[in-house]
Amino acid sequence: MVKNILIIGATSAIAETVAREYATQGHKLYLIARNEPRLTTIAADLRIRGAADVVVATMNVSNFSTHHSVIEKAYVALNTIDIVLIAYGALPDQKALEKSAENTVESCNTNALSVISFLTILANRFEEQSRGTIAVITSVAGDRGRHSNYVYGASKAMISVFLQGLRNRLHHSQVHVLDIKPGFVDTPMTAHIKKGGPLWAQPEAVAKDIVKSIENKKDILYTPFFWRYIMLIIRSIPEAMFKRGKL
């Protein structure tokens, strides 16, 4: 059966790889992102890979007032939505944010509040249709506040907690809510970080995990799997000890 899939932040490396998986399976895709030329390139690619149809729409997620109409348009085009994947996010420069309250709030607006806004609108739609999957890419960074990355971490943590509650609420309407927590992924977002070593994953591996977890209706996905254990250890370090470190 052809599924209708909405992806917000469709030009992100992980989202694009997920979209390729779904295109190969012949599903219908509605892609939202900011960069129009890139969206056009991606859409053409997905059509050739086998997508039943690809529709694109551009927007700036920080423009909260447009959220309602953007989702409305997606529903008009698709009629129903089986899967929504929210995949955008920006990795801020923690050091720079520490110097600016304004930029810190702005970063939280993009990484947390705009997602919450979308989720609020989508949750009501999904509750009404009583089926489907809402999947959001958060981060292992949301599992514990760390010296080097806590603004980003706090935003991701906010979404994760929101999703817990939403999962609880929508469970009664047979709606599946998936929280995706990737570790280090080799993407343009992390291009400035020195890479290599066994902790870095390719987006293809992460995308495969995501597609599988949507299929299996998993609640929380750590990807690659070993991050579940790494974060278990990091979460269980006592605060008194943790605060001395420089993680």
Partner 1 sequence: MRLSGWGNYPIIDAGSHSPQSIIDVSACLLNKNALIPRGLGRSYGDSSLAPQILSTLSLNHFIAFDATTGVLTCEAGVSLADILSTFVPKGWFLPVTPGTKFVTVGGAIASDVHGKNHHVDGSFSDHVHSFQLIIADGSGIECSRILHPELFHATCGGMGLTGVIVSATIALKRVQSAYIDETVIKAKNLEEVFNLFEEHQASTYSVAWIDCLSSGEFLGRSLLMLGEHAKEGGLIARKKKRLTIPFNMPSLLLNQYSISAFNALYYHKQREQVAERRVHYDSYFYPLDCLHHWNRLYGKNGFTQYQFVLPKSAGLEGMTAVLKEIAASKRGSFLSILKAFGPGNKNYLSFPMEGYTLALDFKIALGLFDLLDKLDSIVLHYGGRIYLTKDVRMPELIFKQSYTKWPDFVKIRTQYGADKQFHSLQSSRLGL
The window from 131-139, 170-178, 189-197, 227-235 that contacts partner 1 (CB under 8 A) reads 189-197
Closest contact distance (angstroms) between CB of 200 and partner 1 is 12
Q: Which is nearer to partner 1, 34 or 146 (CB)?
A: 34
Q: Detail the DSSP E strand segments found in the chain.
A: 4-8, 28-33, 53-58, 83-86, 133-137, 176-182, 220-223
Residue among 41, 66, 148, 168 that touches partner 1 (CB under 8 A): 41
Closest contact distance (angstroms) between CB of 233 and partner 1 is 24
Q: Which residue, among 220, 211, 221, has the nearest Cα to 17 in the 3D structure?
A: 211
Closest contact distance (angstroms) between CB of 90 and partner 1 is 15
Q: Which is nearer to partner 1, 14 or 140 (CB)?
A: 14
Tell me if 196 contacts partner 1 by CB under 8 A.
Answer: yes
* Euclidean distance between CA atoms 1 and 239, whole angstroms: 50
* Euclidean distance between CA atoms 233 and 201, whole angstroms: 20
The tokens describing 21, both together, are 């998986």
Tell me if 76 contacts partner 1 by CB under 8 A.
Answer: no
Any bridge partners for residue 28, and if so which?
Answer: 4, 53
Tell me if 38 contacts partner 1 by CB under 8 A.
Answer: yes
Angle at CA 44, nearest 5°, toward 182 and 110? Answer: 40
* Euclidean distance between CA atoms 55 and 79, whole angstroms: 13
Residues 6+ apart with CB under 8 A from 134: 84, 86, 119, 122, 123, 126, 166, 170, 175, 176, 177, 178
Decide: 222 and 181 in contact? Cβ < 8 Å. Answer: yes
Range 113-143 burial, b when 16+ CB lie within 10 A, else e: bbbebbbeebbebbbeeeebbbbbbbbbbbb
Closest contact distance (angstroms) between CB of 50 and partner 1 is 8
Residue among 2, 36, 44, 124 that touches partner 1 (CB under 8 A): 44
Any bridge partners for residue 89, and if so which?
Answer: none
Tell me if 197 contacts partner 1 by CB under 8 A.
Answer: no
Decide: 46 and 54 in contact? Cβ < 8 Å. Answer: yes
The window from 33-41, 66-74, 86-94, 115-123 that contacts partner 1 (CB under 8 A) reads 33-41
Closest contact distance (angstroms) between CB of 47 and partner 1 is 8
Residue among 42, 137, 158, 166 that touches partner 1 (CB under 8 A): 42
Q: Which residues 125-184 are close enough to bind partner 1 by CB under 8 A? A: none
Residue among 188, 217, 235, 247 that touches partner 1 (CB under 8 A): 188
Q: Which is nearer to partner 1, 43 or 231 (CB)?
A: 43
Tell me if 50 contacts partner 1 by CB under 8 A.
Answer: yes
Binding residues for partner 1 (CB under 8 A): 24, 37-38, 41-42, 44-45, 48-50, 188, 191, 195-196
